[in-house]
Amino acid sequence: MEKTLTVCPYCGTGCKLNLLTENGKVVGAEAANGRTNEGELCLKGYYGWDFLNDTNLLVPRLKSPMIRREKSGKLEKVSWDEAIEFASSRLSSIKANFGSDAIMTTGCARGAGNEANFVMQKFARAVIGTNNVDHCARV
Amino acid sequence: MSNAITEIKDAKCLLIFGYNAGDSHPIVAKHILQAKANGAKIIVCDPRKIESARVADKWLQMKNGSNMALVNALANTIFAENLQDQAYIDKYTDGLEEYKKIISTYTPESVATITGLAPEDIRSVARLYATASESMILWGMGVTQYGQAVDVVKGLASLALITGNFGRRGVGCGPVRGQNNVQGTCDIGMLPNIYPGYQKVTNDAVREKFENKWGVSLSPNEGYKLTQMNHLVHDGKMKAYYIFGEDPAQTEADLAAFREMMGKLDLVIVQDIFMTQTAAMADVIFPATSWGEHEGVFSCADRGFQRFNKAINPPEGTKVDWKIFSLMATAMGYPMSYENTKEIWDEIRSLCPEYAGATYEKMEGLKSVQWPCTDEGDHDLGTSFLFEGNKFTTENGRGQLFASEWRPPQEIPDRDYPLVLSTVREVGHYSCRSMTGNCSALQTLADEPGYVQMHPLDAKSHGIKDQQLLWISSRRGKVITRANYNERINIGAVYMTYQWWIGACNELTIENLDPITGTPEYKYCAVKVEKIDDQSWAENHVQVEYSALRNKLRDVAKG
């Protein structure tokens, strides 16, 4: 069994925990002696990890890029290259026709982390050209 | 939070205002218990007898929607009984005259009807808070999810100012942030008015710094807030929406209005780990890696930067979030590439003076660095409490006293909709539940359609038994949910948690936004409940609807 020291993905307390893995699967979590949690975890910290094993209890994991070619059509699986081309050309055309401020972007206050959010807002500000950046802080 | 979570146990008095740590932050609740064990006086202001209220020295069971009136009455009492720290006020604050003008009319007697509290109870709480050597305020969504929210936040901070409770260990103000990295999204400038590091987009020198680093010119105008989307889309000003790791189709207020807005957009991009209801509405889906499958830095509620690590490999077909953005940037003519998160973090540090010293090395293992941390040297390990020497982050460095007249919530109960609905948290599920709903132990604890907490007297007056299914509706929607008798809540109000698909309380909630933050009034709208006579039909209905929704999302995911 391997242990990976990490931070709980649920509330803002910032509890340190060890994810226990075996053969590439998460099998448990144990409390670590972090600054704020001092060796303790709550219910979600101890039992909130098995979504990583794609349990499909509630919602399926996304594993392929998808696009909807027409508004009335259905989502279909495509390659990364095609998805990026589809999304970037549509965004560029909206930017050209309606201006940068016609595009809204959000950050993610959950598992993505600060670096991912930094790159998102850089994409919005430097590439799209708008300060339309916001996130789910109000929820 | 001005002070560290670990300083809660150093306080001699805790004023817990609209904050239910037991459900939203169980480990913070342990720090509260530790404070109690250390002899701190505990005050809880909340309409419900939450866990902290059970151990409180004083529990004020205030009426929903009366926050500003109570805060003003506490300030009124402090001055009326000469309990303020006048030397501190004179030395470190501005605005006393205006402040006193407003609070002077808010005697405890004058707010008795609004708050439902006995004047003597308000007075005794004001005395406890003002006379302890170290007093700390903790608040949560019970303050911020009202149409009058920022006013109350400033009012609470002013209580700390007039009693000299800043700039030391065990004092200050703690807005205890909900999601694990919501402090981080603010720290990193995921807001329309600031760049990373709380630097204003309208400040020319700041903007020039970012322009030089990124080699492009940047917009000098503040962007739009998410909560303006409905109107912007309606007016034809907003055409595309790139949603990153959120499920607004579950979490926004007034979901019917949200769905209508989504239908009018030309392009919706969703980058997520699960096929949520929001993802199912997208025109483009980018499948991302999850927590556990990538690494980086989170900010916890008390400004603590901490590194999280990769434990397992992500599923084939997914990509790390920042690589997806880099691909999009490159495709749109701005070549972007990073080797790893450390390279990104170092760029953040180079642009944000407050984080400049918080290197990956200082966050090795169990270590945590609370910003500000301005120097890379080993002597600077961050800042446990802000405002040392009582220098504030205002333009003139002084604390600004602030009071505001109380405003009632927008939608007051009436004959048609006689109950208050307030949305709350439960301990076993998180946010939109796409993560916790896929965890077997947590799913076993609670499942669809969720619950509405009702006082037994309210439930019985409608002929509703404990655990029976019922209809609950507002002027905006109607959903089925299950009654959960709870004698610890106030009569006349009901409480629902917001992660359920079938019992989705956000079908009912109202948009009434705080004028500054744009946060909807999730804590207050008018609803009615109706008994369902045929319970076996209702049980079956819930199962049929739940299966249909689950199957729909599975079908969409198959492509």
Convert the pLDDT of each residue in A78-123 to its tens digit: 999 999 999 999 999 999 999 999 999 999 999 999 999 999 999 9
Q: Which helix (H) or strand (E) holds B200?
A: strand B199-200
- Using the beta-carbon criterion (under 8 Å), do A59 and B246 form an inter-chain contact? no
pLDDT tens-digit map of B219-261: 999 999 998 999 999 999 999 999 999 999 998 889 999 999 9
- Using the beta-carbon criterion (under 8 Å), do B27 and A15 form an inter-chain contact? yes
Nearest-neighbour CA in chain A from B284: distance (Å): 4
Q: What architecture (CATH level 2) is domain B5-176?
A: 3-Layer(aba) Sandwich (3.40)
**pTM as predicted:** 0.95
pLDDT score recorded for residue B252 = 87
Beta sheet of B284-287, edge-to-edge order: A76-77, A66-67, B284-287, B267-272, B240-244, A103-106, A133-134
Q: Identify which of B291, B344, B347 has the shortest CB distance to residue A9.
A: B291
Whether the Cβ atoms of residue B229 and residue B265 lie closer than 8 Å to each other: no
CATH topology of domain A2-53: N-terminal domain of TfIIb (2.20.25)
For residue B67, the 8-state DSSP code is H
Whether the Cβ atoms of residue B300 and residue A14 lie closer than 8 Å to each other: yes
- Using the beta-carbon criterion (under 8 Å), do B332 and A63 form an inter-chain contact? no
Whether the Cβ atoms of residue B522 and residue B253 lie closer than 8 Å to each other: yes
Q: Identify which of A10, A19, A48 has the shortest CB distance to residue B311.
A: A19
Cα B334 to Cα B318: distance, rounded to the nearest angstrom: 23
Q: Looking at chain A, which residue has its C-alpha nearest residue B429?
A: A44
Query: Is the ipTM above a cut-off of 0.90?
Result: yes
Q: Looking at chain A, which residue has its C-alpha nearest residue B304?
A: A14
pLDDT tens-digit map of B73-96: 999 999 999 999 999 999 999 999
Whether the Cβ atoms of residue B45 and residue B9 lie closer than 8 Å to each other: no
Whether the Cβ atoms of residue B206 and residue B199 lie closer than 8 Å to each other: yes
Beta sheet of B41-45, edge-to-edge order: B58-60, B41-45, B13-17, B135-139, B172-175
Q: A27 to chain B: which residues are within 8 Å by CB? A: none
Whether the Cβ atoms of residue B66 and residue B111 lie closer than 8 Å to each other: yes
Residue A137 has pLDDT above 80, yes or no: no
What's the burial of B536, exposed, middle or buried (CB within 10 Å: 0-12/13-18/19+)?
Answer: exposed
Nearest-neighbour CA in chain B from A33: distance (Å): 7
Q: Looking at chain A, which residue has its C-alpha nearest residue B278?
A: A59
Q: Looking at chain A, which residue has its C-alpha nearest residue B324?
A: A84
Q: Looking at chain A, which residue has its C-alpha nearest residue B435?
A: A51
- The length of chain B in residues reads 559
Q: Which helix (H) or strand (E) holds B76?
A: helix B67-80
What's the burial of B100, exposed, middle or buried (CB within 10 Å: 0-12/13-18/19+)?
Answer: middle
Looking at the domain that runs over B419-558, which CATH code has it been given? Answer: 2.40.40.20
Q: Does a cis peptide bond (omega within 30 degrees of 0) precede residue B372?
A: yes
Cα B518 to Cα B145: distance, rounded to the nearest angstrom: 10
- Using the beta-carbon criterion (under 8 Å), do A127 and B329 form an inter-chain contact? yes
Nearest-neighbour CA in chain A from B146: distance (Å): 10
- Using the beta-carbon criterion (under 8 Å), do B332 and A106 form an inter-chain contact? no
B252 φ, ψ to 5°? -70, 155
- The domain spans of chain A are 2-53, 62-98, 100-139
- Using the beta-carbon criterion (under 8 Å), do B242 and A122 form an inter-chain contact? no
Q: A8 to chain B: which residues are within 8 Å by CB? A: 180
Q: Looking at chain B, which residue has its C-alpha nearest residue A10?
A: B180
Q: How far is CA A79 from the centre of its chain?
A: 20
Cα B437 to Cα B444: distance, rounded to the nearest angstrom: 9
- Using the beta-carbon criterion (under 8 Å), do B179 and A75 form an inter-chain contact? no
Ordered per-residue pLDDT tens for chain B, 559 residues? 999 999 999 999 999 999 999 999 999 999 999 999 999 999 999 999 999 999 999 999 999 999 999 999 999 999 999 999 999 999 999 999 999 999 999 999 999 999 999 999 999 999 999 999 999 999 999 999 999 999 999 999 999 999 999 999 999 999 998 889 999 999 999 999 999 999 999 999 999 999 999 999 999 999 999 989 999 999 999 999 999 999 999 988 899 999 999 999 999 999 999 999 999 999 999 999 999 999 999 999 999 999 999 999 999 999 999 999 999 999 999 999 999 999 999 999 999 999 999 999 999 999 999 999 999 999 999 999 999 999 999 999 999 999 999 999 999 999 999 999 999 988 888 778 888 999 998 888 878 999 999 999 999 999 999 999 999 999 999 999 999 999 999 999 999 998 999 999 999 999 899 998 889 999 999 999 999 999 999 999 999 999 999 999 999 999 9
- Using the beta-carbon criterion (under 8 Å), do B291 and A110 form an inter-chain contact? yes
Q: Which of B392, B368, B471 is CA-nearest to residue B158? A: B392
What burial letters (b/e) apply to B382-421, b meaning 16+ CB within 10 Å? bbbbbbeebebeeeeebbbbbbbebeebbbebeeebebbb
- Using the beta-carbon criterion (under 8 Å), do A111 and B427 form an inter-chain contact? no
Cα A107 to Cα A113: distance, rounded to the nearest angstrom: 10
What residue spans in chain B does CATH classification 3.40.50.740 cover?
182-378
- Using the beta-carbon criterion (under 8 Å), do B274 and A59 form an inter-chain contact? yes
Q: Identify which of B185, B296, B317 has the shortest CB distance to residue A135.
A: B185
Angle between helices B96-103 and B67-80 (to 10 degrees): 110
Q: B214 to chain A: which residues are within 8 Å by CB? A: 122, 125-126
Q: Best mutation site among A22, A26, A50, A75 for testing chain B: the one with the most B CBs within 10 Å? A: A75
pLDDT score recorded for residue B426 = 83
Q: A84 to chain B: which residues are within 8 Å by CB? A: 327-328, 331
Cα A52 to Cα A42: distance, rounded to the nearest angstrom: 18
How many C-beta atoms lie closer than 10 Å to residue A2's C-beta?
A: 13
pLDDT score recorded for residue B177 = 86
**Distances from the Cα of B40 to the Cαs of B3, B71, B158, B218, in angstroms?**
16, 21, 21, 50
Q: Looking at chain A, which residue has its C-alpha nearest residue B437?
A: A58
Structure token pair of residue B407: 């405003």
Structure token pair of residue A101: 């401020």
CATH topology of domain B182-378: Rossmann fold (3.40.50)
- Using the beta-carbon criterion (under 8 Å), do B442 and A136 form an inter-chain contact? no
Q: Which of B26, B24, B28 is CA-nearest to residue B4? A: B28
Q: Looking at chain B, which residue has its C-alpha nearest residue A6?
A: B308
Q: Identify which of A58, A83, A134 has the shortest CB distance to residue B226.
A: A134
Cα B172 to Cα B190: distance, rounded to the nearest angstrom: 25
- Using the beta-carbon criterion (under 8 Å), do B184 and A109 form an inter-chain contact? yes
What residue spans in chain B does CATH classification 2.40.40.20 cover?
419-558
Structure token pair of residue B330: 């490159």
Q: A13 to chain B: which residues are within 8 Å by CB? A: 5, 25, 27-28, 300-301
Q: Looking at chain A, which residue has its C-alpha nearest residue B321?
A: A116
- Using the beta-carbon criterion (under 8 Å), do B302 and A106 form an inter-chain contact? no
B436 φ, ψ to 5°? -65, -30
Nearest-neighbour CA in chain A from B150: distance (Å): 12
For residue B513, the 8-state DSSP code is B
Q: How far is CA A89 from the centre of its chain?
A: 23
Cα B207 to Cα B223: distance, rounded to the nearest angstrom: 14
Q: Which of A96, A135, A62 is CA-nearest to residue B438? A: A62
